[in-house]
Homo-oligomer: A and B are copies of this chain.
Amino acid sequence: MSAHQMGSGQMGSGRIAGERERLARVALNRLGEPGEVKLTSLAAELGAVRLHDLLLGEVDPQGLRTDLGARLAALDPERELEQAARLGLRFVIPGDAEWPDQLGDLAAAGALHDRGGVPVGLWVKGPLRLDELADAVAVVGSRAATQYGADVAREIGAVVARSGRPIVSGGAFGIDIAAHRGALSADRPTVAVLACGADRVYPQAHREILEHLGRTGAVVSEAAPGCAPQRVRFLARNRLIAALSRGTVVVEAARRSGALNTANWAGRLHRVLMGVPGPVTSAGSAGVHEQIHTGAMALVTGGADVLELVGAVGECLRAEVSAPPDARDRLTTRQRQVLDAVPVGRAAGADSIARVAGLGLLEVRSALTRLRDAGLVEAAGAGWRLTALARA
């Protein structure tokens, strides 16, 4: 079936109508660039089949097909689907059981921006279904990551993935690939959303790991098979990373980093937006610090913090981090007053301690005995001094 025939208006069973919709979307997707707002919003408004047929039938003042009509007529989406299937790719569209409903949030947020809107469909390779990404966490950051940044991204990838949440990132050098590797080290699936076709590899150095993701997790792209990575496609891709995930963590980002573009999308889409701090002397952390400073991002120090923030209430509470219990914690107020009155650097008599504590001598003597039993003070000559434990 060619693109021409799709416009013939013949209605069939539900399954065939679904296929017509899919073919129309494959064609429309090939027609425009990822995230082209005019296309994505018209497809949402008119329906893909109707939009496809309208564009196909468009004529210019000379009665010839318009450029768009001519280009649509030249496409063969059925063949494209078949060829893609041979490469292990499927085209997932709204209405499919696998469609990730959270992308619907792009309808409102995207309309105001250059590259936005709900994609007309997504090319996917790999066993992980897109409807399993509702709880996913995106981990993004600088391509020119430091070793510190890569280490933290990997830790977050591993801890979050181990909790059962897929990791979403972009397949790039630096933070992206470290996050993917973290998830793989936990033997959990991870998703790369690419700016080129899902059948392609970019960057080439990541061929092996991206192929591995295509077998164990998912490689996703809005761009049609064969498409090269282009700047405009990176921008459109960033919105998908943010929209697919419940929260986005930026590990390192300089002030003009593309990762901040993803972060902005996460903010617009009311996703949880998180940032990892680093040395203030590191340019790679400056973009993150700025966003934490303004309150746009929450500060997280690792996977446990991330899980706390993206978790439903009570679902995954961050372990209360506290110092080991301290002998001081078990003292009465009086005993603590006495302990506080023992000098830091030398021994003192009970009378001097009583004066400092503002307490009676008998009371102080009794408290000193308890403090000695607790290992906090020791006798020294005629007086008392702090033990190493109390000075710790």
Check: A302 CB closer than 8 A to any chain B CB: yes
Q: How far is the CA of A298 from the CA of B152 in the complex (A)?
A: 22
Contact of A231 among B67, B202, B228, B340 (CB under 8 A): B340
Contact call A341/B299, Cβ cutoff below 8 A: no
Contact call A292/B299, Cβ cutoff below 8 A: yes
Interface centre among A278, A280, A357 (most CB of B within 10 A): A280
Provide the residues of chain B in CB contact with A302, threshold 8 Å. Answer: 280
Check: A356 CB closer than 8 A to any chain B CB: yes
Q: How far is the CA of A151 from the CA of B282 in the complex (A)?
A: 13
Q: How far is the CA of A337 from the CA of B341 in the complex (A)?
A: 73
Which residues 348-385 in A have Cβ within 8 Å of B in the complex? 355-358, 360
Provide the residues of chain B in CB contact with A343, threshold 8 Å. Answer: 228-230
Contact call A278/B279, Cβ cutoff below 8 A: yes
Provide the residues of chain B in CB contact with A340, threshold 8 Å. Answer: 230-232, 235
Contact call B277/A356, Cβ cutoff below 8 A: no
Check: A86 CB closer than 8 A to any chain B CB: no
Provide the residues of chain B in CB contact with A358, threshold 8 Å. Answer: 32-33, 36
Provide the residues of chain B in CB contact with A355, threshold 8 Å. Answer: 71
Check: A128 CB closer than 8 A to any chain B CB: no
Check: A21 CB closer than 8 A to any chain B CB: no
Provide the residues of chain B in CB contact with A323, threshold 8 Å. Answer: 255-256
Provide the residues of chain B in CB contact with A286, threshold 8 Å. Answer: 301, 321
Which residues 277-335 in A have Cβ within 8 Å of B in the complex? 277-281, 285-286, 289-290, 292-293, 298-302, 305, 321-323
Known contacts A230-B344, A281-B148; decide if A33 and B301 are in contact (CB<8 Å): no
Which residues 136-153 in A have Cβ within 8 Å of B in the complex? 148, 151-152
Known contacts A279-B148, A289-B277, A356-B230; decide if A255 and B322 are in contact (CB<8 Å): yes
Check: A346 CB closer than 8 A to any chain B CB: yes
Count class of interface residues, chain A: 35 or more
Known contacts A341-B232, A346-B228; decide if A280 and B152 are in contact (CB<8 Å): yes
Which residue of chain B has the shortest Cβ distance to A156 in the bound complex?
B280
Check: A345 CB closer than 8 A to any chain B CB: yes
Check: A276 CB closer than 8 A to any chain B CB: yes
Which residue of chain B has the shortest Cβ distance to A276 in the bound complex?
B280
Q: How far is the CA of A322 from the CA of B355 in the complex (A)?
A: 59
Provide the residues of chain B in CB contact with A43, threshold 8 Å. Answer: none
A298–chain B nearest beta-carbon distance, Å: 7
Interface centre among A235, A276, A281, A300 (most CB of B within 10 A): A281
Check: A93 CB closer than 8 A to any chain B CB: no
Contact call A301/B321, Cβ cutoff below 8 A: no
Check: A339 CB closer than 8 A to any chain B CB: yes
Contact call B293/A301, Cβ cutoff below 8 A: yes
Known contacts A278-B277, A279-B148; decide if A229 and B301 are in contact (CB<8 Å): no
Q: A255-B322, A278-B279 are in contact. List 9 more A-B contacts (CB 8 A).
A: A32-B358, A36-B358, A229-B344, A230-B340, A230-B341, A231-B342, A232-B340, A276-B280, A293-B299
Residues of A within 8 A of B (CB): 32-33, 36, 67, 71, 148, 151-152, 202, 228-232, 235, 255-256, 276-281, 285-286, 289-290, 292-293, 298-302, 305, 321-323, 337, 339-346, 355-358, 360
19 residue pairs of the A-B complex, CB under 8 angstroms, read: A36-B358, A67-B360, A152-B281, A228-B344, A228-B345, A229-B344, A231-B339, A231-B344, A232-B337, A232-B340, A235-B340, A276-B280, A277-B278, A277-B279, A277-B285, A280-B302, A293-B298, A293-B301, A293-B305
Closest 3 pairs (CB-CB, A-B): A277-B277, A232-B340, A280-B301
